[in-house]
Amino acid sequence: MKTVALLLGVVLLALGLAGFVPALNPDGLLFGVMPMNTVMSALFALSGIAGIALGMSSRRTLTPPSNAGPDDMRPWV
């Protein structure tokens, strides 16, 4: 899932940045197909940054400590 988050983040960031390029966004249509404005471009870019951050995080790769008790829920998170 981290790989999917990373790939989706890169795609969303690329679309968001492409929305700011006037040559790729003539008449408010990104690549002549998708309606896009400044707010949408910013939201795509922010979502892409969040996806990249989630994809690159090491939160899921940490192993629980060996002294974890029976009530430790970290393996399930």
More confident residue, 29 or 76: 29
More confident residue, 36 or 1: 36
Q: What's the rounded mean pLDDT across residues 70-76?
A: 64
Looking at the predicted structure, is the pLDDT value of residue 14 above 90? yes
| Residues contacting 20, CB < 8 A, separation 6+ | 38, 41
Q: What is the pTM of this model?
A: 0.73
Looking at the predicted structure, is the pLDDT value of residue 64 above 60? no
Instruction: Note whether 13 and 45 are within 8 A (CB).
Output: yes
Confidence of residue 8 (pLDDT cuts 50, 70, 90): very high
Cα–Cα distance measured from residue 38 to residue 22, given in angstroms and rounded to the nearest whole number? 11
